[in-house]
Structure 1
Amino acid sequence: MKSLPSCKPNNGLGARGTAWNTLVATTAAGAICFVQKTGVGLLLAGALTLAPIPAHSLELFGLKLWGSSEEETEPVPDPLPYEASLATTGDNEELTSQLKAASLLLQQQDKPPSGEAGLIARALSDRERLVAKLYSDGRYGGTVDISLAGVPLETALEQADLPNSRPVKVSVLIDPGPVFTFGNVSISTEGYDLSSDPAFWGLARGEVASSGKILSAERRIISMLRGRGYPKAGIAERRITADHANDTLEVTLIADAGLQARFGTVAVNGTDVTDPDFVIQQAMLPEGGVYSPEDLERARKRLNELGIFSSIRLVEGDISGPDGSMPVTIEVSERKRHVIGAGASWSSTEGFGVESYWRRRNLFGRGELLSVEGSIGRLGNESLQDLEYSARIAFEKPGVFGPLTSFSTSLAARQENPDAYKSRTLTFDAYLNREFSEQLKGRAGAEIFYADEEDAFGEDEYLLVGLPADLTFDNRDDKLNPSKGFFASVFAEPAYDTLNSNAMGFVRGTVSSYYALDQSKRFILAGKATAGSIFAPSVESIPASRRYIAGGGGSIRGYAYRNVGPRVNGEVVGGRSLIELSGEVRVKVTETIGVVGFVDAGNAYEDSIPDFSEGLKVGVGGGLRYFTPIGPLRIDAAVPLDPGQDDPDFALYVGLSQAF
């Protein structure tokens, strides 16, 4: 067990017997000395490391107090069984429950320690974590008494010889003491233009003096100083004094910003295949610019988005020179270069779908990505020759004209076979992509699209040459399970059909929004709207696979896949405009289970401008969500309120991630 440094009396604390406990810190490392002056209060002396107090982790006296620990992989020698009980004075059931949950002795009764020494060590650790829990509750005058087989812990430490009864009876008795409030609080940030008002830092006089609030204030002070260009900022001095006569806590925090820094030279460690100069280029750290944690975080995010590193660390060096230059070392670990993946989906209207891909990362050492992808759809609903197939080979190269641009190109072949048409297509495209900000991205390029299709109009061929472009804004907090933010995209493409001498233009936009009704994000409202138009001489002049047809998963749930839109002789042919609306109420019942209620509506129209007199098709339903580390598993059931020809009575959908 780690030894504890002793406390030395502070001559400025007053005569013995006065109702004061004083905690004094003289280093930025967080070492605090608790000097017991009264014989009342917490019977502890040592170095107290104030650390955050989340539910899963806490450290006190340099020891891990609670939190998940690694499972023992080897048998414990000389295991000593024991039975533990914990009681508190007073009738605060909630606090008692929290203390029991924090107690190592109670929570690990099924893991006997090694001999009496192991039990004593566990009891000492438990006392420290229980004291820390009292501190986090603002209780600085409580006592924690632990006895082992009737022997007080302090006596057991001295004699190290417990009675022979087994299992050992362990008793924990806690007097929580009163709740302390903040008294005089002094925040010293002289010369750094930061507020000295304790209330601004969450340490207002009269509020509960939780140790977590002090730590939070320190973190905020340091964060603000770092944000102003002081990377070595810290708390130079922390003085905490508990007044037991008035149940108040006096706090003095003195900040030391250190030197202001500028980004110096950038170095890279850990690369094997990757070109270090490429890493420096993509990080975009402004050499000579004033230090900024935001610049470091943006650099980390840009490097992470390359998908070629499993870990990324940005190590800050020492500040030197008259300009405060601070070198930065980017330490990376490269991911495996070959990736194989697969996925599957199912709905009662579209059947099974499977897909797989092979990827080669970092092809030439500068973040390039080569992908080969394939999928088969509508399994179980069609004969083999009528299934939906797709194959695609794609290449991406980041940093072609600076770190914010990339180039991508692909060649894809596809067969689609919904009820409305049968289509075989071949597409080649090339794009220049640009990141305008963390949320705003766009691309523009060229496309050649060949289609051989058969529908209600007959069989025809098309060869389109187009100039597609799109713009996307995305500030969602989670791509697979968003609880706040917006997603918006707009697409436009002028195109010319060289086989049939027809000019046309495609426009489509989508907006989705998410709003949490409570702080814990268990109740979320989600909405989505999509609209599109095609400007062409007629519906027949547009390839069937490019016309607007609604229905199915991702569109209007409950209706058959691509079965909502204008018809000719009873067959859906699609239209030149589209409206789709979706709304969901998402409720997280437990940490792993959620339920959803939804309404979808939409339609496709013959003209380029929607004719709302034709109304909207509506589908309603509900679903279950099972939250996994890679996203929610989704099961939805939907009913069409106005089913048409070939539409089912209801439909089921299974997939990964939320519907939108």
Structure 2
Amino acid sequence: MRPCVLRRRPDGLRLQLTRCVSVLALAAALATAPVRAEALDLFGWLPFGSKSSDDEQGQPAVVDPLPYTASLRVSGGPPELETALTGSSELLSQGDRLPSGEAGLIARAVSDFERLVGRLYVEGYYAGTVNIRVAGLDLQQALAAPSLPGPRPVPVTISVDPGPLFTFGTIAITPADDAAQGAGTVFDGASYGLVRGETANSEKILRAERAIVADLKAAGYPFARISRREIVADHDTNRLDVRLSVAAGRAARFGEVSVSGAEATDPDFIVTQAMLPVGGAYSPAEIDRATERLNELGIFSSVRIVPADSITPDGLLPVTIEVSERKRNVIGVGANWSSSEGFGVESYWRRRNLFGRGELLSLEGSVGRIGDNSLSDLEYSARIAFEKPGAFGPQTRFTTSLGARQEVPDAYRSRSITADAFYERDVTDELSVKFGGEVQFADERDVFGNETYLLTGVIGQVTYDTRDDPLNPTKGINALLFAEPAYDIQGANAMLFTRGQISAYRALDDAARFVLAGRLGAGSIIAPSVRSIPAARRFFSGGGGSIRGYAYRNVGPRRNGEVTGGRSFVEASGEIRMKATETIGLVGFVDAGNSFDAMYPDFSQGLKVGVGAGLRYFTPVGPLRFDIAVPLDPEKDDPDFAIYVGLSQAF
């Protein structure tokens, strides 16, 4: 590549561009780089960083701090340009962090010069003048002076004349080798955002280069590059001519896959789970998918797939999977609270990578409805679970568990023991299926009296998930279909459990600060009667995750004033989510639904509706949620309002 030719003029470090290679990247990087980074401060608690004790702001103590005042004057250009320049200036944005002595102030001014020139390029101004004066001296004089004259704080003035706005002139993107010529990619500038007559932002050129190289790599050329870049600013016509030469290099196929960094994990297991198509055409998308598959195992803190530096004579490109393993033993605790359901705690112990092939052993326990209840009225559960990924080949899992629990909502008391086993398969990145069976013994007391059940069932489940973030989605859908034919050996009754749910999300603006979220769910149990179904398996509505505002599992058909649970249900929720700041969000919502005695929803019985609003505090591990909801048609045991606190969005 040809180097940049920059001409410096004596009238205050004026910078003009004639031919440039790396200055565009440097300019964009300096102009857009964050000026300051902080650790997450969660109400004084720093879970992902710590403040230094050097000063109250957590910044390192400055030796010989030098106070100064800074001002910016922009001659011409739109108001948005001055805002952009102000945001790029360290002298202005970091005025509360004093530099170390005169040398520190001058260094900050020199850095600002580069940043401001870079911002001008980003905005499309290539003939601008940036003049920074420190204590009345221009930068060249300040650099040569033994000390800065004048008063303290030191006055610093920044003068910017952006000059004319440049537009694109000639755009030429040509292949530099036979491979690029025959790669099948059409190097049309307009298709890469370089359009004659449009504003000549430097970022557009960089984006175009990245897109061209990405297209060639996607076509199987791992070492594609921009071999020559020629940028010419014509100051007579205020046009920027762009000429790029593209070298594709050799096409490659995936070669031998090796592993580094594995200690407890079997390297062959890693290679198998990555599913890189050895012998197939090189593809960055395949590398991304393989990386995601390995990360989803949950046993690595980092995964990198690194291609070799060269292609073998037979066209193969070896790759190395570099992994760093996570700690194998994990202990976790959690808590939740709502005004209608009380306080709950849970904990777990997990052993990752049990036998070196991604296995997971979990011991889990929880206690719920803690409050005024006696010990016998608490809800609790205990469970041991085992998961083996890749049990039947890549993208499959085998899971099994044994658990016991007690549930004590207002409508019933249930004690149960459940054993299950499942085969799971990821059909695509979005679609997964699950098949298996379970055996459950339940001892229950409800409005019908005491009953025992011994259920055996065969379970099938299909999940489709395109959400961009499971904890805080802004687009996509999440759908689930579940079916279980079961037989109660105690009561000699056959039954079929079915349910489905779909949630959808849509951002109303490009920044996803306003998001509409909706959820619809329904279910049916084909059984002789409500009484023949275990109470814990009937459909109840109300409470968090259902119809907020109503008491937990307190919505549905009643007998002698007590909720019995139903053989069908339907529920719907709608939310408008607004991100007020980077850390604070507001939510308004409405929930509606009901459970019915009939095997299919009977809308003649009407729907219960709850409305409310919520607050979100966004953290790196998901939004902290605080909701308050009011039931519009409360019945016995329903509160006047209910409060819910948890982690992640409601759905």
TM > 0.5: yes
The match for 1:464 is 455
1:284 aligns with 2:279: no
Q: 1:392 aligns with which of 360, 372, 383?
A: 383
The match for 1:156 is 142
Alignment partners' CA distance in 2, 1:552 and 1:117:
63
How many angstroms does 1:114 deviate by? Answer: 4.1
The match for 2:538 is 547
User: Against the structure 1 CA distance between its residues 115 and 636, is the aligned structure 2 distance closer, same or farther, given a 3 Å change threshold?
Assistant: closer
Alignment partners' CA distance in 1, 2:90 and 2:439:
67
The match for 1:513 is 504
**Are the equivalent residues in 1 in contact too, given 2:21–2:231 (CA < 8 A)?**
no
The match for 1:32 is 4
How many angstroms does 1:68 deviate by? Answer: 3.1
The match for 2:70 is 84
Q: 1:201 aligns with which of 151, 171, 192?
A: 192
The match for 2:157 is 171
Provide, for residues 548-594 of structure 1, a one-character-per-residue CA deviation record: whole Å limited to 9, x for no partner.
11111111111111111122222111111111111111122222222
Trace 1:496-535 onto structure 2 (pairs within 5 A). Answer: 496-535=487-526
Alignment partners' CA distance in 1, 2:62 and 2:594:
68
Trace 1:267-416 onto structure 2 (pairs within 5 A). Answer: 267-416=258-407
How many angstroms does 1:80 deviate by? Answer: 4.1
**Are the equivalent residues in 1 in contact too, given 2:482–2:499 (CA < 8 A)?**
yes
How many angstroms does 1:351 deviate by? Answer: 0.9
Is there any run of 5+ residues in structure 2 with no aligned partner, and where?
Answer: 39-51, 176-180
Number of equivalenced pairs:
626
Alignment partners' CA distance in 1, 2:467 and 2:256:
34
Trace 1:51-200 onto structure 2 (pairs within 5 A). Answer: 51=25, 58-59=29-30, 67-68=35-36, 75-90=61-76, 92-163=78-149, 165-189=151-175, 190-200=181-191
How many angstroms does 1:543 deviate by? Answer: 0.5
Trace 1:432-581 onto structure 2 (pairs within 5 A). Answer: 432-581=423-572
**Are the equivalent residues in 2 in contact too, given 1:34–1:47 (CA < 8 A)?**
no
Q: 1:637 aligns with which of 584, 605, 628?
A: 628
Cα-Cα RMSD: 2.3
Alignment partners' CA distance in 2, 1:334 and 1:173:
53
1:250 aligns with 2:222: no
**Are the equivalent residues in 2 in contact too, given 1:235–1:254 (CA < 8 A)?**
yes
**Are the equivalent residues in 1 in contact too, given 2:411–2:446 (CA < 8 A)?**
yes
Q: Residue type matched to 2:35 in 1?
A: G
User: Against the structure 1 CA distance between its residues 590 and 114, is the aligned structure 2 distance closer, same or farther, given a 3 Å change threshold?
Assistant: closer
User: Against the structure 1 CA distance between its residues 53 and 534, is the aligned structure 2 distance closer, same or farther, given a 3 Å change threshold?
Assistant: farther
Trace 1:604-623 onto structure 2 (pairs within 5 A). Answer: 604-623=595-614
Name the SS of the counterpart of 2:36 in structure 1. Answer: coil
Name the SS of the counterpart of 1:610 in structure 2. Answer: coil
Q: Residue type matched to 1:151 in 2?
A: L
How many angstroms does 1:83 deviate by? Answer: 2.9
How many angstroms does 1:171 deviate by? Answer: 2.2
User: Against the structure 1 CA distance between its residues 107 and 613, is the aligned structure 2 distance closer, same or farther, given a 3 Å change threshold?
Assistant: closer
Provide, for residues 408-427 of structure 1, a one-character-per-residue CA deviation record: whole Å limited to 9, x for no partner.
11111110011111000000
Name the SS of the counterpart of 1:154 in structure 2. Answer: helix
**Are the equivalent residues in 2 in contact too, given 1:41–1:142 (CA < 8 A)?**
no
Q: Residue type matched to 2:349 in 1?
A: W
Alignment partners' CA distance in 2, 1:622 and 1:94:
36
Question: Identity of aligned pairs, percent?
Answer: 60
The match for 1:13 is none
Provide, for residues 264-304 of structure 1, a one-character-per-residue CA deviation record: whole Å limited to 9, x for no partner.
11111111111111111111111111001111011110110
Alignment partners' CA distance in 2, 1:586 and 1:159:
57
Alignment partners' CA distance in 2, 1:350 and 1:66:
44
How many angstroms does 1:313 deviate by? Answer: 1.0
The match for 2:24 is 50
**Are the equivalent residues in 1 in contact too, given 2:16–2:128 (CA < 8 A)?**
no
Name the SS of the counterpart of 1:43 in structure 2. Answer: strand
Q: Residue type matched to 2:5 in 1?
A: C
The match for 2:48 is none
How many angstroms does 1:106 deviate by? Answer: 2.5
Name the SS of the counterpart of 2:550 in structure 1. Answer: coil
- The worse-fitting range, judged by mean Cα deviation, of 134-143 and 122-131 is 122-131
Is there any run of 5+ residues in structure 1 with no aligned partner, and where?
Answer: 1-24
Provide, for residues 332-379 of structure 1, a one-character-per-residue CA deviation record: whole Å limited to 9, x for no partner.
111111111111111111111111111111111111111111111111
Provide, for residues 66-109 of structure 1, a one-character-per-residue CA deviation record: whole Å limited to 9, x for no partner.
53369997655554443332222236433223212211223334
Name the SS of the counterpart of 2:15 in structure 1. Answer: coil
**Are the equivalent residues in 1 in contact too, given 2:13–2:130 (CA < 8 A)?**
no
The match for 1:625 is 616
Q: Residue type matched to 2:279 in 1?
A: G
Q: Residue type matched to 1:304 in 2?
A: N
Alignment partners' CA distance in 1, 2:35 and 2:102:
24
How many angstroms does 1:115 deviate by? Answer: 4.2
Alignment partners' CA distance in 2, 1:560 and 1:382:
16
* TM-score (normalised: structure 2): 0.92
Provide, for residues 116-155 of structure 1, a one-character-per-residue CA deviation record: whole Å limited to 9, x for no partner.
4443332222111110010001000001112222222123
Name the SS of the counterpart of 1:250 in structure 2. Answer: strand
Name the SS of the counterpart of 1:50 in structure 2. Answer: helix
**Are the equivalent residues in 2 in contact too, given 1:539–1:574 (CA < 8 A)?**
yes
The match for 2:211 is 220
